[in-house]
Amino acid sequence: MAKISEERQSKLSGIGSLSNSSKEDLRRSSVTVTKETSEQLTHGERVKKGQLASVQQGRYGTGPAPYGYRRGGPGEKPLVIDDYEAEIVRMIFREYVRTKSTGKVVEYLHSKGIYTRQGKKWSRQAISIILSNRTYRGRVCFGGIEAEGLHDPIVDAALFYKANAIRQSRSKSKKDSGKK
């Protein structure tokens, strides 16, 4: 059995010598901690319920607006199209359908001097995230629920599905050949 340091031993033995009122204070504080923890879980459940309700109503969830959109203000739709970024999103979809390569889309954007919102270079992962994001075809999703969004789509459903069919077939062929 491990030895307990003298300092820790004295602290532990000090608990046993607490007065009854101090023990009651200690018990109350542990009850408070337990109560706060259960309230946090309840809060988390309320947040999830609220997010699900938002999606069912067609509202985009929390977090920053996807590239191509900005958050709508009072009296506007939840997401409003940013014309400049939206054209880049369309360009990403068209170039991907044409080249069938996220790497070639990245090269194309950089050759045109087009960078992210933060002024950084695009990555293949960022392109892939845009291609798979259903928000761009006017949908909202959360927790396995998908609904028609209140916002306008940036790409039409046909282009979205064509790009994602290519992604799926390329993903499947990579898995079949043993590549990652």
Residue 49 has what pLDDT? 85
- pLDDT at position 76, please? 92
Q: pLDDT for 92-128, tens place per residue?
A: 999 999 999 999 999 999 999 999 999 999 999 999 9
Quick check: 145 and 55 in contact, CB under 8 A?
yes
Cβ contacts of residue 102 below 8 Å, gap of 6+? 96, 124, 127, 128, 131
pLDDT one-digit tens code per residue, 11-44? 444 444 445 555 555 455 444 444 444 456 688 8
Residue 47, pLDDT above cutoff 90: no
Token pair of 149, please? 């969004």
**Angle 77-79-80 from CA coordinates, rounded to 5°:** 80
Give domain limits for the chain.
Answer: 82-173
The predicted structure's pLDDT at residue 2: 46
The H or E element containing residue 21 is helix 20-56
Which has more pLDDT, 128 or 175?
128
pTM (whole model) above 0.75:
no
Q: Which residues pair with 134 in a beta bridge?
A: none
Residue 122: Cβ within 10 Å count: 21
Q: Is the pLDDT of residue 3 over 70?
A: no
CA 61/CA 79 separation, integer angstroms: 10
- Beta carbons of 88 and 114 less than 8 angstroms apart: yes
Q: What distance in Å separates the CA atoms of residue 105 and residue 100, rounded to the nearest whole number?
A: 9
Query: What is the mean predicted confidence (pLDDT) over 52-56?
Result: 87
Q: Which fold has domain 82-173?
A: Hect, E3 ligase catalytic domain fold (3.90.1750)
Q: Give per-residue pLDDT as tens, 75-91.
A: 999 999 999 999 999 99
- Model confidence at 10, pLDDT cuts 50, 70, 90, reads very low
Give the whole-angstrom CA distance, residue 172 versus residue 180.
10
The answer on pLDDT for 155 being more than 70 is yes
pLDDT at 6: 53
> Could you give the CA distance from residue 180 to residue 170 in angstroms, rounded to a whole number?
11
Q: Which is higher by pLDDT, 40 or 46? A: 46
CA-based max dimension of the chain: 78
